[in-house]
Structure 1
Amino acid sequence: MTKKAWRQHAGLPLALAGLTFMLAACGSDAANGGNDANKQAANAAATNGTAPANDAAAGTEAGAANNKGAAANTEQSKEPVKVVWWHSMSGELGKAVTQLVADFNASHPDIKVEEAYQGTYDDSLNKLKASMDSKSGPTLIQVYEIGSKFMIDSKAITPVQDFIDADNYDISSLEENILGYYTFNGKLYSMPFNTSNPILYYNKDMFKAAGLDPEKPPATFEEVKNDAKALTKDGKTGASFAIYGWFMEQLFANQGADYLNNGNGRSDAASESLVNSDTGVKTLTWWKDLVDSKVALNLGRKTDDTKKAFLAGQIGMTLDSTAGLRGYVDGAKGKFEVGTAFLPKPDGAQDGGVVVGGASNWIMNNKPAEEQKAAWEFIKYLAQPDIQAKWHINTGYFPITKKAYDEQIVKDNMAAYPQFKTAVDQLHATKLSTATQGAVMGVFPEARQIVESAIESAFGGTDPKKALDGAAKDITAKIDTYNKTTTK
């Protein structure tokens, strides 16, 4: 998997341009039509077929037969319902998406899904915003996890919970820790599609050479530093973690700490960043100390650079997405053995876990009820265990349903890549809370950039507390501006 692809999947941090205009657009046609469209969609989800032809006037068997024949002809000539799906899967991932759509269309002649690649997550979301005053947008759109707050505030979507309730659709086999991110006030707003979380990758051969147990990777901040010290020798360095805001968010969650106030923005709209809390200062101080002690390299913001250094045997440990696991294992083949471990946390940290990254699918409410219902049928298809198994095998993303692990192809893949068990175990070990559900704010892409700048500043010599105080102030100001443009 390429760097560009992975950064998209975990959530590429870019600013949401033109926010005031876009929210104004959200508050017009799409918002005003929202309630009616939601009701129509729910009614469509609860009913099948159409009212029978009225042949009472005919009053004869011939009339009934004629009507029946006419209905049959109408049915034969009826065009399939078209669903336009915007997504941001490129390269090999794009090929996997194309195959999913082709398989669905072949088995559902009454529906035709047209998939359309829209560029990065940010590109796609900006195109959606530009289309909200018209009918030119999609029926269904894949949006990265940090775009969830905007999607809800736009009032331009029909929550998938409406279809779940109308269809009596059973979600009990779906992964609770994945659903958790996209659930707000007990309602599931979108259906998870591609999901990952971060893990620690380490070079088992370097561990052996340094006298460390390759079967006992570091679990705490303190152990990471000690192991990094032992690994730093012979021109090699113990670790390197990309300056990526997603990692800071994950390290907060792994300590059971909220990133924003008001229950991480879930009990009420967030109004304050907590990135400068004791958790944040402790985390950045540890990270800075690794760099200052020269047991970790600062290779900048690109995870591709840390991955290349790791695969070249220049560093012993790094953080990256579970979605890239196959690339790591295959890239190291014939050179060294890759080990995987849970994300580290400080000694004595509270129960926590990881927040899912990736994206989910959202149904737009400015489309006819029949079209929304067809999109729901496609969403249900994507969630099937056998389909999730294929998606997982072809991409490395988590299956969103636990039943996919019973599929033989998944069992075979797990045998070929046993390192992936770490990712699954870490997901299942996560205790759902506001911290691990993940923070939500309408300016998340901007916030990530601000945090990354603060980390760079600290590495450059600024006191971690001072750097994070500045970041928290800037993020809080942006949240305040955003909140003033939205209404409950």
Structure 2
Amino acid sequence: MKRFGKRSFTLLLLSCLMLISAACSNSPTTGETTAAAGSEPSKEPVKVVWWHSMSGELGTVADKLISDFNAAHEDIQVEGVFQGTYDESLNKLKASLGSNSGPTMIQVYEIGSRFMMDTKAIRPVQDFMDAEQYDISSLEPNIKNYYTFDDKLYSMPFNSSNPILYYNKDAFKAAGLDPENPPKTYEEVAEAAKALTKGNQAGASFAIYGWFMEQFLANQGVELLNNGNGRTSPATASQVNSPAGVKTLEWWKQMVDDKVLLNLGRKTDDTKKAFAAGQIAMTLDSTASLRGIVSAAEGKFEVGTGFLPKPADGGDGGVIIGGASLWLMNNKSEEEQQAAWEFMKYLAEPQTQAYWHVNTGYFPVTTKAYEEELVKENLEKYPQFQTAVDQLHQTTANLATQGAVMGVFPEARQLTETAIEEVLNGQKTPQEALDKAASEISSKIETYNKTVK
């Protein structure tokens, strides 16, 4: 009896274990148990695809921002996809329109703004700002103005720059010029270039870049396009051949004729290299190039920076914002759009912008970033950047400095560069070359406007 009782107990124990095991194998997962208790089941994070044009070191910084955001947001995962240059990326977007193969959000250079609005494939970020009373009071006014149309902010500013004058302080001293007082007018630049031209060193060189021409006009308070630079109503004609444009090219060509300014062609990389090598004493370049230019000159000479020059009798103006902003596509789910908006807000935060600015050289898009220790330390290390900040803040806000908008901006820029080239090479007078460019640009605008209608 005793043995039988023991065996019965063992069988009973085995039966219990089997029942428990079966119950366990059929039991819901931990998440489902929680759900049964009344809370939400665990969900996959919302995926946001961001197309951008940040390569090399800029791409590394962009990747860091993405990874930091993803680490702090379990419910959203951003995937950054490099799509080549701004032009290449925009062409890929054009090919994706009408399908679902495009991104959730895309970085587009400033001159692509009119095209982006005309696609009707985007959703203005103003929608999200209005919905949550998002405070944009600390966004840089001039940057905010560029991307504002009909009192509505269409895209989120992200990376911004403008052009400044770079000069060799050591060369200035050697030429008897004040290294702390860079030339401010066309006339002063021409004079300084003459004094700086000696031996193997030319006074200056400016790359043949349409962006510079746009900036030279804005700096004189002159609009590049009719109809309020294309902002009061769609532009129908180019005004690149205005007296301000002609005067600018006459000044540029005269310096070439006087053999005090080298014509090194269209690439800013070539003028950068010539400046670092001491072959030229002054050049124009983007504020985003500042760190690279200062580093390249290290141990050779001290780099000075000055405002973009304008004629002594130039009108009220300033610089236009360059760089790019972030656009939201409207063919994604509301949930995905909302997730992309969260990422955009993160990229505009003072701490994020401080990190972005210090590691890339682009402007912070929010004034609050200047309160960050990181930015203060960077300004101490690179005092030349103060010039860029001051130039931005001293720019007069008007339709000229707000920036032109047209759907054929990349083509217009190339036509302007051809005109500059023809003048510097002695093929046409400034008036002839700019008249031809204005006519061709206006014709392209007309064709584009018909397709939009």
Q: What TM-score, normalized by structure 1, do the two folds share?
A: 0.85
CA offsets, 1:120-168, max 9 Å, x none?
1111111111111111110000001110000000000000000000010
Which residue number in structure 1 is paired with residue 342 of structure 2?
Answer: 377
Deviation (angstroms), 1:383: 0.6
Select 2:271's aligned residue among 292, 301, 306.
Answer: 306
Amino acid in the other structure paired with 2:66: V
Alpha carbons 2:407, 2:448 under 8 Å: kept: yes
Amino acid at match of 1:370: E
Give the aligned partner of residue 152 of structure 1.
Answer: 117
Tell me, in whole angstroms, the C-alpha distance in 2 between the residues paired with 1:83 and 1:396.
Answer: 26
Aligned to 1:183: 148
Superposed CA deviations along residues 24-79 of structure 1, whole A, max 9, x for unmatched, are xxxxxxxxxxxxxxxxxxxxxxxxxxxxxxxxxxxxxxxxxx99942778734211
Amino acid at match of 2:329: M
Q: 2:429 aligns with which of 460, 463, 468?
A: 463
Q: 1:430 aligns with which of 395, 401, 423?
A: 395
CA separation in 2, counterparts of 1:143 and 1:231?
A: 39
CA–CA distance in 2 between the matches of 1:408 and 1:144?
Answer: 29
* Deviation sequence 1:170-192 (CA, Å, 0-9, x none): 00011011111110011000001
- How far off its partner does 1:432 sit? 1.2
Structure 1: how far apart are the matches of 2:115 and 2:396? 26
2:290 paired residue among 321, 325, 332: 325
Structure 2 residue aligned with 1:99:
64
Determine helix, strand or coil for the equivalent of 2:281: strand
Q: 2: distance between equivalents of 1:384 and 1:432?
A: 24
Whether 1:115 and 2:62 are equivalent positions in the alignment is: no
Larger radius of gyration: 2
Distance 2:284 2:64 in 1: 31
Match of 1:258 in 2: 223
Mapped partners of 1:73, 1:146: distance in 2: 51
Moved more, 126-135 or 336-345: 126-135
Deviations 1:440-467 (A, max 9, x none): 1000000011000001111122111001
1:420-448 deviation digits (Å, cap 9, x = unpaired): 00000000011111100100100000001
**Distance (Å, rounded) in 2 between the aligned partners of 1:174 and 1:106:** 26
Q: 3-state DSSP class of the match of 2:101?
A: coil
Counterpart amino acid of 2:42? S
The answer to whether the Cα contact below 8 Å between 2:353 and 2:365 also exists between their aligned partners in 1 is yes
Q: Counterpart of 2:19? A: none
Q: Which residue of 2 aligns with 1:41?
A: none
CA distance in 2, matches of 1:86, 1:129: 13
Whole-Å separation in 2 of the counterparts to 1:71 and 1:333: 66
- One of 51, 55, 78 as aligned partner of 1:90: 55
Do 2:34 and 2:41's aligned partners in 1 also have CA atoms closer than 8 Å?
Answer: no
Q: Pick from 470, 479, 482: which aligns with 2:445?
A: 479
Change (3 A) 1:189 1:71: farther
Alignment-derived partner of residue 318 in structure 2 = 353
Instruction: Mark the CA change 1:262 to 1:407 in structure 2 (over 3 Å): closer, same or farther.
Output: same
Match of 2:376 among 394, 411, 414: 411
Identity %: 70
> How far apart, CA to CA, are the structure 2 residues paired with 1:71 and 1:121?
50
Whole-angstrom CA distance in 2 between matches of 1:177 and 1:214: 29
Once superposed, which parts of structure 1, at least 4 consecutive aligned residues long, lie more than 3 Å away?
66-69, 71-76
The 3 A distance-change label for structure 1 pair 72 and 440 is: farther
Deviations 1:213-234 (CA, angstroms, capped at 9, x unpaired)? 1011000000000000000112
What is the DSSP-based 3-state SS (H/G/I as helix, E as strand, rest coil) of the residue aligned with 1:233?
Answer: coil
Which residue identity does 2:195 align to in structure 1? A
**CA distance in structure 1 between the partners assigned to 2:338 and 2:37 by the alignment:** 23
Q: Aligned equivalents of 2:324 and 2:37: distance in 1?
A: 41
Range that drifts further, 377-386 or 74-83 = 74-83
2:98 counterpart residue number: 133
Aligned-partner Cα distance in 1 for 2:191–2:436: 31
SS in 1 for 2:50: strand
User: Is residue 2:258 matched to residue 1:269?
Assistant: no
Alpha-carbon spacing, 1:375–1:463, altered in 2? closer, same or farther (3 Å): same
User: Any stretches of 5+ residues in structure 2 without a counterpart?
Assistant: 1-30
Shift of 1:251: 0.3
SS in 1 for 2:326: strand
Q: Could you tell me how far 1:349 is from its partner in structure 2?
A: 1.1
Using a 3 Å threshold, how does the CA distance of structure 1 residues 72 and 133 change in structure 2: closer, same or farther?
Answer: farther
2:186 matched to 1:221?
A: yes
Q: How does 1:66-81 map to 2 (within 5 A)?
A: 69-70=34-35, 75-81=40-46
Question: Contact 2:32/2:41 (CA < 8 Å) preserved in 1?
Answer: no
Match of 1:400 among 346, 365, 382: 365
The CA RMSD measured in Å over matched residues stands at 1.3
Correspondence for 1:453: 418
**Do structure 1's residue 205 and structure 2's residue 170 form an aligned pair?**
yes
Is the alpha carbon distance of 1:76 and 1:97 closer, same or farther for their aligned partners in structure 2, counting shifts above 3 Å? farther
Native 8 Å contact 2:51 2:81 kept in 1:
yes
The 1:73–1:134 alpha-carbon spacing in structure 2 relative to 1, beyond 3 Å, is farther
Kindly provide the amino acid, as one letter, of the partner of residue 393 in structure 2. Answer: H
The one-letter amino acid paired with 2:109 is Y
Whichever residue aligns with residue 196 of structure 1, its letter is S
Q: CA deviation at 1:475?
A: 0.3
Aligned equivalents of 2:89 and 2:362: distance in 1?
20
Q: Secondary structure of the residue that 2:159 maps to in structure 1?
A: strand
In structure 1, C-alpha distance between the alignment counterparts of 2:105 and 2:156, rounded to whole Å: 11
Q: Could you say which residue in structure 1 is the equivalent of 2:243?
A: 278
Q: Give the secondary structure class of the aligned counterpart of 2:144.
A: helix
1:88 shift after superposition: 0.5
Tell me, yes or no, if the aligned pair for 2:202 and 2:280 is still in contact at 8 Å: yes
Gap change, CA 1:444 and 1:68, over 3 Å in 2: same
Q: Is 1:294–2:265 an aligned residue pair? A: no
CA displacement 1:99-122 (0-9 Å, x = unmatched): 000000111111111111111111
State the TM-score, normalizing by the size of structure 2. Answer: 0.92
